[in-house]
Amino acid sequence: MKNAIEVKDLDFYYGKFKALSKVNIDVRRNEITALIGPSGCGKSTFLRCLNRMNDLIPGIKAEGSIKVEGVEINNGTTDLVDLRKKVGMVFQRPNPFPLSIFENVAFGPKIHRMAKGDELKDIVKSSLQKVLLWDEFKDKLNKNALSLTLEQQQRLCIARLVAVRPDILLMDEPCSALDPVAIQKIEDLMRFLKKDYTIIIVTHNMQQAARVSDRTGFFLLGELIEFSETDKIFTAPSDKRTEEYITGRYG
């Protein structure tokens, strides 16, 4: 099976407002998939369907099928703890906990009782290595995470996810709070992580989608207008609305 995620006919409602309409998408494993579109088009809502973070909002309803690694997750019997272990999320603003670097990364393994003692230290080490923070902070693991730069905080948040060994990383505009140099570094990190994880990134920044992603989906008013290889979307989009968006006609 090549697909990490398969979504069929997904409709999503906030109360009476229909935020997503008949979304169909197959996300391939070990690829970076970018979701673009103007504000309010539903791309973040869609992303949050994949780890059921929308469940925190009262009055929502999601209809349709979402399969993660072949398992249906859009129903009442899904174990959200298992799902969120498998499908991690990075947020728009880096949100490390106000704890030490070590405790941030150890948080997931601790709550899932995955490891303790030396084994836990190994997980923390390998996770920080994966996001390239280890060399700089191996002697400063007790430093408060909030004292890091925003870019380092975002890396730490990715390390925190990596520590629970997810398969899929959802990134909700992970660079919107960062400066250009930091953005480039996070993008490098994404390319580096691609071999181990399936990554879906929501971004406002079309150039970013063009730079990092293998495939791109274009959302408009709750519909997935077009979804194909990134090169194709940006050079020869098949839908007129996609073309208008990427050429800056609106959005």
82 contacts another protein (rule: CB under 8 A): yes
Least CB distance to another protein at residue 164 (A): 6
Of the chain, the end-to-end C-alpha distance in Å amounts to: 36
Least CB distance to another protein at residue 22 (A): 27
Contact positions with another protein (CB under 8 A) in 13-52: 51
93 contacts another protein (rule: CB under 8 A): yes
Q: Taking contact as CB under 8 A, which single stretch among the options 87-95, 175-183, 220-228, 235-243 is the one that binds another protein?
A: 87-95
160 contacts another protein (rule: CB under 8 A): yes
71 contacts another protein (rule: CB under 8 A): no
89 contacts another protein (rule: CB under 8 A): yes
Least CB distance to another protein at residue 242 (A): 30
In DSSP notation, the chain reads --EEEEEEEEEEEETTEEEEEEEEEEEETT-EEEEE-STTSSHHHHHHHHTTGGGGSTTEEEEEEEEETTEE-SSTT--HHHHHHHEEEE-SS----SSBHHHHHHHHHHHTT---THHHHHHHHHHHHHTT-HHHHTT-TTSBGGGS-HHHHHHHHHHHHHTT--SEEEEESTTTTS-HHHHHHHHHHHHHHTTT-EEEEE-S-HHHHHHH-SEEEEEETTEEEEEEEHHHHHHS-SSHHHHHHHTTS--
Closest CB to another protein among residues 130, 215: 130
Which of 124, 133, 164, 246 binds another protein (CB under 8 A)? It is 164
Least CB distance to another protein at residue 3 (A): 22
Contact positions with another protein (CB under 8 A) in 94-113: 95-99, 107-108, 110-112
Provide the token pair at 191: 């390319």
Total residues in contact with another protein, by rule CB under 8 A: 27
Least CB distance to another protein at residue 84 (A): 4
Provide the token pair at 234: 């940006």
Q: Footprint of another protein on this chain (CB under 8 A)?
A: 51, 53, 56, 80-85, 88-89, 91, 93, 95-99, 107-108, 110-112, 157, 160-161, 164
